[in-house]
Each structure stands twice: as structure tokens, then as C-alpha cells.
Amino acid sequence: MPRVQIVRHPVVQHKLTELRDQRTGPKRFRELLREITPLLLYEATRDLEVEEVVVATPMGEARGHRLRWTIGLVPILRAGLGMAEGALQVFPEAQVWHLGLYRDEHTLQPIAYYNRLPPRPTVAWCFILDPMLATGGSAVAAVDILKRWGVPRVVFVGLIAAPEGLKRFEAAHPDIPVVVAAVDDRLNDRGFIVPGLGDAGDRQFGTASG
């Protein structure tokens, strides 16, 4: 799948291993999400367009570059919230638009329950933030929404993906890049990634998994 990039940087893999560890509590889990997200975004933003500018330094003039377009961050509620703070460290001026999607436990299909996007797009690039790309349903639905909104460029950024989810995502949106830290073995019969890290929302917020 040529649009999937796995970030194998040693620091990313070190932090991902600690995230996977079931002994990692909610506080540290949230910290790790905040720390790993900027590292993933550095890789996900290599194609951002820039424009040349001249700025005054204390010693004279210097030529440099500034991002050409506005950036939107789209954390998928609720697990994506843990990635938003780290993403804002990279793009402190970014617009943040939340999408609420949950997976029906029986059908494993995504159900949208929150969407406050304005009538017309206000950004040129959107980065979808969701730790897990499992069945692929929520990721596909999020891209569907953003494409209908009219955003020119969309990128999915997560931690772990399953082969089944990537296949579904690629079939629906072959033009959209996916940046993750790992692609795991498979999904279990409940639609969870194996070995994965469990439920990313439950683990960061300290709620019991059902």
C-alpha cells in the first residue's frame, strides 16, 4: 500500500512500546500520546508547501520560508483528543475541528454523532488524528466528511493500524496518505487490533473497557 508510511524512528518506537505496555497508567499514557504526536507529524508534513520570505534579524536580513497554507487538525472523539495537544505544539495557530464517531459494537460500523464544521472549508490541509486505525470505518467516514466539506489535502495520522483497516481505507480513499508508527498483525473478533494496545480512549481517560 504505497500511501502508508510507517515511522520507524527509534524514539517513536521506544514511546510506542511504553504505550502498548498494560502497566502504563492513564497519566503516563496521555503524556506519551502528547510526546509521540509531534514526531509523527514531522513525517506527515514533509509535503507542506512553503513560500520564501525575508525577515530582519539583529544582524541584517535573512531569507527563509513560511508555510503557505492554513492547517486544520481533526481529532476523532474521543481517543483523538490525546493527540490534539501534541499536534498543537507543531501548529499552535492551527484550527481544531472535532468529529465525533463511534463504532457500533455489533456491526462494527462507524456512527457519526458530532460534526460542527462550517459550511465552507477554512483550511487547505487537514490532519485527521486518531490513535488506532482498526476496521478502518471511522477513518473512512472522517475522510468522507472532509472531502464533502471540500478540503484540498487530507492526511490520516495515527499510532497503530491493522491490515484489514488499511485495506478498507485504501480501497475507499487511495489518494489519502496514512502515517502510523506500526502496522500490527490482525483484528480480533471484536474489531480490536492485535497485539495493539487495547482501547486508546479507555487507557488515556482511565475508564473501564467494556
Q: Which residues are catalytic?
A: 103, 107, 199, 202
Q: How many CB atoms lie within 10 A of CB 145?
A: 20
User: If 0-12 CB within 10 Å is exposed, 13-18 middle and 19+ buried, where does residue 6 land?
Assistant: middle
- Cβ(129)–Cβ(80) under 8 Å? yes
State how far the Cα of 130 lies from the Cα of 146, in Å rounded to an integer: 15
The backbone torsions φ and ψ at residue 138, rounded to the nearest 5 degrees and listed phi first, read -65, -40
* Helices assigned H by DSSP within the chain: 10-20, 26-44, 81-90, 137-149, 163-172, 200-205
- Give how far Cα 19 sits from Cα of 8, 30, 95, 133, Å: 15, 9, 27, 16
End-to-end CA distance of the chain: 33
